[in-house]
Amino acid sequence: MKQIIKKFIPVIVFEWRANIRDWRGLMSDTATQRSRFAKYHSRPNSTGRGQIETQIMFHTHQIEKGLSHENFRPGFGKGVLKAMATLLTRLQQTGDDAANTFVYQQAISALHEYVKRHHDIDYDLTYMRNMFPDDLWNAICNTDVKLAGVLTLGRTDKVNNRHVDFKTLAECRYAIREYTDQPVTKEELDEAVDISMKTPSVCNRQATRIYEILNPQTIQTLLDIQGGYRGYPTPPALVLVTSDIRAFMNHMERNEPFVDGGLFSMSLLYALEYVGLAACPLNAMFSRKQDEQTRKILNIPDYELPVMYIAIGHYPEHARVCQSQRYPAQYITTTID
Ligand SMILES: Cc1cc2nc3c(=O)[nH]c(=O)nc-3n(C[C@H](O)[C@H](O)[C@H](O)COP(=O)(O)O)c2cc1C
């Protein structure tokens, strides 16, 4: 019976029915996704441990970035320190074990490095001391935990990158934000993109698109719009990774542009490391205005979604990098036997 009905109803009707189903699915699934995100993401007044930890990690990273700057600015980050004092106190209130958590220890370690760096140059830290209650200040001054701070990488450490094993390549890659003045060539970028083409994608649909930007003025204009790279010299090259929405087939694939684009981006970061270029992933979390401005400059079609930027350059003689220590693997792993 179904076959007979199908024979007399034009295909276009079935296509319309599928379209309507997909549209309804898109509306309802994005609404569920939106409310889940709204419910759980970290807000300034969050009281849950996970959300407080997120804000502490954000500020820990700001301290590490400030300490790693080539042009170190003594007394930097007063707003960050103030926020840390509030957030660490709030974290303590989430339970007796708070002080043993990775995030707490890492934050204390970063603050310790801040104090040490300023003591080394006899910089007066009264402003900082006045922000923290006694117990936190004592923890900051006396900790011997080493979970944050700055590392120095040498250019010579990277010359052999085409021959090192994957574990070493992955473990020694760091986000580098300051480069030499040497231009990056299209050929150098092309080699890394070429290697990254082996990245898997859903049904091999290969939605990722790459914009290689080599013009210094355009790079600086784009980074001014992006806003997360302030205080660093213009990098010699910038790549924007985007994803072509036309490669996706229904509402259940709505997040896949970012999954596939994210996978490609990580391949590209490793490929850049392999060819001996230094790089820093940068967010493309644009407001509507930033999105419009960026699209206009790069002539990005409406059907592409920005995934992320990567700033690229040649390794300086010595690069000061944030340690950005990771959780132990067992912390993020659930095994179902
Ligand atoms: C999607 C994404 C967005 C990022 N955005 C920025 C950014 O806007 N500015 C910045 O300085 N670093 C940015 N980073 C770099 C991270 O801070 C860095 O990768 C992280 O601290 C881990 O350090 P590592 O890359 O040295 O291992 C971003 C990284 C990723 C993956």
ipTM of the complex: 0.99
Beta strands in the chain (DSSP E): 150-154, 208-213, 237-244, 277-283, 304-314, 318-322
Q: Do both 31 and 129 map to the same domain?
A: no
Nearest CA to ligand 1 atom 11: 229
User: How many CA atoms lie less than 13 Å away from 61 in the CB half-sphere?
Assistant: 11
Residue 333 included in any domain: no
Residue 320 has φ and ψ, to the nearest 5°, of -90, 125
Q: Do both 208 and 68 map to the same domain?
A: no
CATH number of the structural domain spanning residue 226:
3.40.109.10
Q: Do both 160 and 266 map to the same domain?
A: yes
Q: Do both 255 and 128 map to the same domain?
A: no
> Domain count of the chain?
3
Q: Do both 136 and 162 map to the same domain?
A: no
CA–CA separation, 60 and 322 (whole Å): 10
Residue 331 included in any domain: no
Mutation test of ligand 1: which of 280, 312, 322 has the most ligand atoms closer than 8 Å to its C-beta? 280
User: In angstroms, what is the span from residue 75 Cα to ligand 1's centroid?
Assistant: 23
Mutation test of ligand 1: which of 151, 169, 177, 283 has the most ligand atoms closer than 8 Å to its C-beta? 283
The per-residue pLDDT for range 189-217, each reduced to its tens digit, is 999 999 999 999 999 999 999 999 999 99
Residue 19 included in any domain: yes
Residue 224 included in any domain: yes
User: In angstroms, what is the span from residue 169 Cα to ligand 1's centroid?
Assistant: 18
In the three-class reduction of DSSP (H, G, I as helix; E, B as strand; rest coil), residue 242 is classed as strand
CA–CA separation, 110 and 322 (whole Å): 10
Q: Do both 219 and 284 map to the same domain?
A: yes
The per-residue pLDDT for range 77-136, each reduced to its tens digit, is 999 999 999 999 999 999 999 999 999 999 999 999 999 999 999 999 999 999 999 999
User: In angstroms, what is the span from residue 128 Cα to ligand 1's centroid?
Assistant: 27
322 CA: nearest ligand 1 atom: 26
Residue 334 included in any domain: no
Q: Do both 102 and 251 map to the same domain?
A: no
Q: Do both 18 and 67 map to the same domain?
A: no
Q: Do both 243 and 136 map to the same domain?
A: no
User: In angstroms, what is the span from residue 284 Cα to ligand 1's centroid?
Assistant: 11
CA–CA separation, 111 and 99 (whole Å): 14
Which parts of 121-227 fold into alpha helices (H)? Answer: 126-129, 134-142, 166-172, 186-196, 216-226
Q: Do both 163 and 311 map to the same domain?
A: yes
Q: Do both 274 and 195 map to the same domain?
A: yes
What is the mean pLDDT, run by run of 10 residues, along the chain of 337 residues?
76 90 97 98 97 98 96 96 98 97 98 98 98 98 98 96 98 97 98 98 98 98 97 97 98 98 98 98 98 98 98 97 98 97
User: In angstroms, what is the span from residue 281 Cα to ligand 1's centroid?
Assistant: 5
Domain span at 54? 49-148
Nearest CA to ligand 1 atom 1: 283
Q: Do both 240 and 303 map to the same domain?
A: yes
Question: Domain boundary residue among 148, 163, 178?
Answer: 148
Residue 242 has φ and ψ, to the nearest 5°, of -125, 170
Residue 108 included in any domain: yes
65 CA: nearest ligand 1 atom: 11
Ligand 1, CB within 6 Å, residue ranges: 61, 174-175, 177, 228-229, 280-283, 308, 321-322, 324
Q: For residues 213 and 219, is the Cβ–Cβ distance under 8 A?
A: yes
Nearest CA to ligand 1 atom 30: 281
Residue 101 has φ and ψ, to the nearest 5°, of -75, 155
Mutation test of ligand 1: which of 54, 106, 150, 324 has the most ligand atoms closer than 8 Å to its C-beta? 324
Residue 327 included in any domain: no
User: In angstroms, what is the span from residue 238 Cα to ligand 1's centroid?
Assistant: 14
User: In angstroms, what is the span from residue 325 Cα to ligand 1's centroid?
Assistant: 13
262 CA: nearest ligand 1 atom: 1
Residue 295 included in any domain: yes
Would you tell me the crossing angle of helices 102-120 and 134-142 to the nearest 10 degrees?
70
